[in-house]
Structures are given as structure tokens and as C-alpha cells.
Amino acid sequence: MRKSIFRYVTAATLALGSFFNVATAQLTAQIGTGTQAPLTNNSIYSPICRFSATTTNDCSRSNLLYTATELNAAGITNGVTINKIAFYKIGTGASTGGFTFEIHMRNSTTSAPLSTATTWANILSTHTPVYATTTQSIPATSGWVEFTLSTPFTYTGQSLEIAMTHDMTPVPNNPTTGPFDWQYTTGLQDHVIGIVGTSLASIPTLSGTVTNYKVRPNIKFEYSNGTTPVTTLTGTSSICAGVTATLTGSPAGGTYSSANTAVTTVNATSGLVTGVSAGTAVITYTSGSNTATLTMTVNGLPAAPAAITGTTNLCTGTTTTLSSATAGGNWTSSNTAVATVNGSGVVNGLSAGTSTITYTVSNAANCTAAVSTTVTVDILPTVAAITGASSVCAGATTALSSTTTGGTWSSNNTAVATVNANGTVTGVSAGNAVITYTVNNAGCSAAVTKQLTVNALPAPAITQNGALLSTTPFATYSWALGGNPIPGANAQTYTATVNGDYTVTVTDGNGCSATSAATTVTLGTSLRDLGAKENIALFPNPASDLVYIRADHPVNVRVCSLDGRDLIQADNAKKLDISGLSNGVYLFKLFDKEGRLLQVQKLVKSDH
């Protein structure tokens, strides 16, 4: 509840909607400002309960409570005289035939809640009758329905109870056009009790237990306190050109005017003042025959600051700096959830959206001028890490990927490695490169990187010593003759058995492979011819430990596995101990002292 603005009344009328216009100085107050519609059955108990045009419940009784706190807050204090009350009717329900209606009042010490049950006789014994008629009518239009008290009621500063009763039973044919609906404020069910019935005799007791219709209607009072209100005009006396301010005249209901509308204008009814140009103007408030004045000073505005410059698009988590050639101003953001700006014009993007950035300058009168610009903040994308190998061999490819789609790939060193649109990296030469995956969103870019090493290819070279071919150490080897791999030739050395072009393919510790240039082997005399010319014998065969060598001249011996691996080597050998070899078939390669291959013989190692 709150007090309405007082107004000084100058004319008398009782018409609906022109409430409390009287010739003498009166004050008005309102308790209840809610605009709630009626409850169940389109009606409430007070002041007149009428459910419908045809209801047989032609009578109602109610008692309302208004506390001292509510009344005093509205301006009704100890000693005032209440002359009228009014309730706000809504809807089109009406009664023109006339019916009985009474109002009773009393000052009391009662506080909410009201007694849940009492008799009408008890109420009449404590209340004072202030209004009674047998010709009451209700208009069809919405508005305040007034009741001028036949006996003005003196309020003593306590709670106020208002009891009302209506009786339509003497009215022929119940001449009503619909329910009587009254505007109310919620939350005041314990401030009212009431009852309806087919006759007054049927409702001797008021009950507070029924909830359907227990709401207290909004009410207006007209009252006097024996004094004439003083006319005043209050509010600020200084504004800036182009700025508005509201002045307040008292008592309410007067008119406002400006003596110099080139300096300031004022709305005649609301008191809203608008500064037009620098200077002074007298504002007058007129209430009846009384006036009050206020001299309004309008201060000029400073020159508008220079336009804002700088980038107005940024990404979340990034900044941009705005500036104006006019110094000494202040920066503000209209939407700090999207972007903030500090005193230096540095804008920080926080979330996607737009915000108006304003630069404001002021003068000695604290009048301001401003320029603004709109910044747009877009989301900085989040990019998943790059997955895939961290190294690749020169000339080879490897695939990189990210679970974030729609990005682009790039290499910072295309002389070392290139990358295509699908993330396939090609090693170009030995070295290091940074592979970058970038995702763009409306100009906001985010990227992830991966360090990539390109390993050089191995460089195998064959060294030939007669039929013996060898290369430098690597992780794996594969010998070939005429481009065809030699089965089982996977050692660092290989002994050629036939003429031809030999190559070796190796793999280093980085997994990189390369093939050597071909080496042509020409053995000259065939092994069969050598064998025929040389008288060389190995015995016993099979052997378990010692193998004896018989030859016409000294020979050098190499014992090899069938896959070409050298196992035992002895120069100028007469015998060899093979007890350390596993059972199986071995090749004995016999060379002269110049390294020329004389014979190759197979020998079986067997411990049995």
C-alpha cells in the first residue's frame, strides 16, 4: 500500500471517475494499488457481493480492517475527518432499481487477522453508522464508486474497521445486469470477513473461514485536517541542454509553465523539464489561486569528442584498443558481459555478442557529450590437439589429424616438410618443421602445432673383397641380385656365388630405408673349375666337433650359415672346431691367400 499524491480540489461533482472534486480544500489517499481481477464466481464479499444477475443470494455483510500503519503511511493521521470513501468497480455489472446499502465505521485496536466469526449484532454494537440508503444504484461503467458519508467520521490514529451490508430482496425482479466486480490487492485475506445469503435474516453471523471471496478491495478516502495545503515546487534547479528532469508541485493537480521556452520547456501536467539552450528560465507551478516558482539554469554542452577509431571486431579472450583524438574523456561499455573497456580504451572480449563502447567528455558544469561505436565479439574456436607421428623419413609421407573439423594445414619450413589440405605430411629433407592446424570462426582464429622431424635416408655402399660383399652397420639388410631379393641374405655381409649386379637395401634406427648402388661381381673361373683344379678335402662329414682340412697349399676358411651369415673365420687353417655350432647344414667357403674363392662345400654338423 502506498499514499496517492495529494491534489487541491477546486470543483464539486459526484460523477463516476472524477473522484473527490469538492469546493473546499480536501486531501485524498488510497490504500491498495493492485489491479487483480475478481476471484471465483466473479465476485468478492465487499463492498457489495453480487455473483450474477440471477443469483438468489440477494444480501451480503462484510467487515474490512485497515491498520494504523497503512492509514498513517497514506497520510491519514490522528484527528482527520473522513468525508467520503470509494471502491473501484470493474466490469459491466450494474443495478438501477435501487437497493438498501449501509456503511458503519469504528476506531479500534484490532489487528489482523480479524475474528473468524462474529455476529452482525456485535458489529453494530461497536460501529458508528455513517452511510445509509434504500435507493443505492451501481453504474455499468468501470471506475471509482463514491459514497459520501452522511456523518463524517473522525479518525483517532488507531486501526479502522468498515462494516457494510446490502439487501436487494425488496427490489422487484433483482434488477441487475451482472456481477459486481471490485479491484483488489493480493495477500490481505486476513483483513476481511464476510458472508452472503438469500436474506439478511439468513446471515446473522459473519465468517472468516470461507476463502473463495476473502479479499479486501482497494479503497480511496477523502478527508480534511483543518489546514489548507501550501503550494510548493521542488526539484533540481540546474540541468544540461538536451537533458530532462522532473519537478514536483504540491498539492497535486496543478499546472507547470516556463517563462522562457527558448531556454527550457516544461510539460504542463507532469512537470518534466527539458533543457533547450544555455541560460535561465523561471518555472511556475499553479495550484488554484496559489503559485510557486523555481529558477532553472540550463548549462551548455561541451564540444562533441572526436570520433572513435580502432578495430571494432575482436575475439573472446583477446583485446583491441580504441581511441579518440579528444583527451580527458571516460570509456564505458553498454554490455560488460560481452566486452569491458578500461580507462585507456582497451576493450576485452568476454563472450559472443555486441556492445556499445562510449567515450564521454564533460565540462565544468558536469554536462557531457559523447561518441560511441559498436564492437562485435566472436567466439575464439577451441581446436583439438594434432595427433599422428612426430617424425617421417625424407621422401616418405605420414598422416596428421585433429578431431576439430574445418581447419587448414601449414608448414613453417617447406624445404624440410610439406603438408596438404588433408594433413598428409611429406618429408622433403632432413631437419625440423612446425606443422600448424588453424581453425577460423568469423575472423577469429585458433591454432595448434606439432613439431615434426624429417630423418635423412641411410646411404648404404657395398665394399667388395673378391666374392665377399659388405656394407656399413644398419638395423636391417636385404641383399638382391639383379633387383631380385636373395632368400636368407639378411646379414651385413654376403658372399657372391654367381656373377651379376648386387645391391643391398638397409633400414636405419629411424625406420628409414635406402638401396645401395649396384656392385658388379665377376668371379672369373667357375667354382666347378676351381673345384676340379684344387685338391681340397673336408672330413669327417658329418662332423660333431673337429673338421680337418686337407689341401695342396694353405687356405683361408669362412664358415657361413645358409642365409649368408659368417660364423667362423680362420686363415691358413688345417682344422676347425665346430662344436659350438648347432646341428645343421653349413657352407665352408675356402679362399687362397689372395682372397680368391677356391671352393664352397657343404658340411653337416651332427652330434650323433
Tell me which amino acid residue 257 is.
Answer: S
User: Of 581, 583, 601, nearest to 591 (Cα)?
Assistant: 601
At 8 the pLDDT is 27
11: pLDDT strictly greater than 50:
no
Tell me, yes or no, whether 134 and 194 share the same domain. Answer: yes
Residue 413 belongs to domain with CATH number:
2.60.40.1080
Name the residue with higher pLDDT: 102 or 215. 102
At 458 the pLDDT is 95
397: pLDDT strictly greater than 60:
yes
pLDDT band at 17; cut points 50, 70, 90: very low
Average of per-residue pLDDT across 34-38: 73
Taking a C-beta distance cutoff of 8 angstroms, is the pair 309, 275 a contact?
no
Tell me the C-alpha distance between 107 and 206, whole Å. Answer: 19
Assigned domain for 154 exists: yes
Tell me, yes or no, whether 38 and 158 share the same domain. Answer: yes
What is the strand order of the sheet 391-393 is part of?
391-393, 444-455, 431-441, 408-411
Average of per-residue pLDDT across 18-30: 54
Average of per-residue pLDDT across 445-473: 94
Percent of the chain with pLDDT over 90: 58
Tell me, yes or no, whether 288 and 257 share the same domain. Answer: yes
48: pLDDT strictly greater than 70:
yes
pLDDT band at 170; cut points 50, 70, 90: confident
Q: Report pLDDT digits (tens) over 212-256.
A: 456 788 999 988 876 555 678 999 999 999 999 999 998 888 999
The domain of 544 spans 537-605
Tell me, yes or no, whether 405 and 546 share the same domain. Answer: no
At 525 the pLDDT is 47
Assigned domain for 5 exists: no
Final residue before a domain boundary, out of 197, 225, 253: 225
pLDDT band at 13; cut points 50, 70, 90: very low
Q: Report pLDDT digits (tens) over 519-535.
A: 998 875 444 444 445 68
Assigned domain for 194 exists: yes
What is the strand order of the sheet 546-550 is part of?
537-539, 546-550, 575-577
Tell me, yes or no, whether 275 and 324 share the same domain. Answer: no
At 287 the pLDDT is 85
Assigned domain for 576 exists: yes
Tell me the C-alpha distance between 459 and 478, whole Å. Answer: 14
Tell me, yes or no, whether 208 and 108 share the same domain. Answer: yes
At 39 the pLDDT is 52
Taking a C-beta distance cutoff of 8 angstroms, is the pair 289, 355 a contact?
no
Q: Report pLDDT digits (tens) over 257-289.
A: 999 999 999 999 999 999 999 999 999 999 877
> Counting Cβ atoms within 10 Å, is residue 235 exposed (0-12), middle (13-18) or buried (19+)?
middle
Tell me the C-alpha distance between 75 and 26, whole Å. Answer: 12
Residue 571 belongs to domain with CATH number:
2.60.40.10
Assigned domain for 368 exists: yes
Mean pLDDT of the chain: 86
pLDDT band at 424; cut points 50, 70, 90: very high
Average of per-residue pLDDT across 48-70: 84
Average of per-residue pLDDT across 484-512: 91
User: How far lies 589's CA from each of 285, 298, 392, 570, 583, in Å?
Assistant: 131, 119, 41, 11, 18
pLDDT band at 178; cut points 50, 70, 90: confident
At 251 the pLDDT is 87
Tell me, yes or no, whether 83 and 213 share the same domain. Answer: yes
> Which range among 7-21, 122-136, 189-203, 265-279 has the greatest average pLDDT?
265-279
Tell me, yes or no, whether 193 and 280 share the same domain. Answer: no
Taking a C-beta distance cutoff of 8 angstroms, is the pair 257, 197 a contact?
no
DSSP string computed for 257-301: EES-TTTEEE-TTT-EEEE-SSEEEEEEEEETTEEEEEEEEEEPP
CA angle 51, 53, 54 (to 5 degrees): 90
pLDDT band at 18; cut points 50, 70, 90: very low
Average of per-residue pLDDT across 569-586: 92
Tell me which amino acid residue 24 is.
Answer: T
Taking a C-beta distance cutoff of 8 angstroms, is the pair 466, 597 a contact?
yes
Q: Report pLDDT digits (tens) over 140-150.
A: 888 899 998 99
Assigned domain for 348 exists: yes
Assigned domain for 9 exists: no
Assigned domain for 14 exists: no
Final residue before a domain boundary, out of 189, 204, 225: 225
At 98 the pLDDT is 81
Instruction: Give the number of domains in the chain.
Output: 6
Tell me, yes or no, whether 286 and 411 share the same domain. Answer: no
Tell me, yes or no, whether 365 and 392 share the same domain. Answer: no
CA angle 457, 459, 465 (to 5 degrees): 160
Tell me the C-alpha distance between 295 and 282, whole Å. Answer: 4
Name the residue with higher pLDDT: 598 or 226. 598
At 213 the pLDDT is 55
Tell me, yes or no, whether 197 and 99 share the same domain. Answer: yes
Tell me, yes or no, whether 287 and 238 share the same domain. Answer: yes
At 208 the pLDDT is 56
Final residue before a domain boundary, out of 521, 551, 572: 521
Percent of the chain with pLDDT over 70: 89
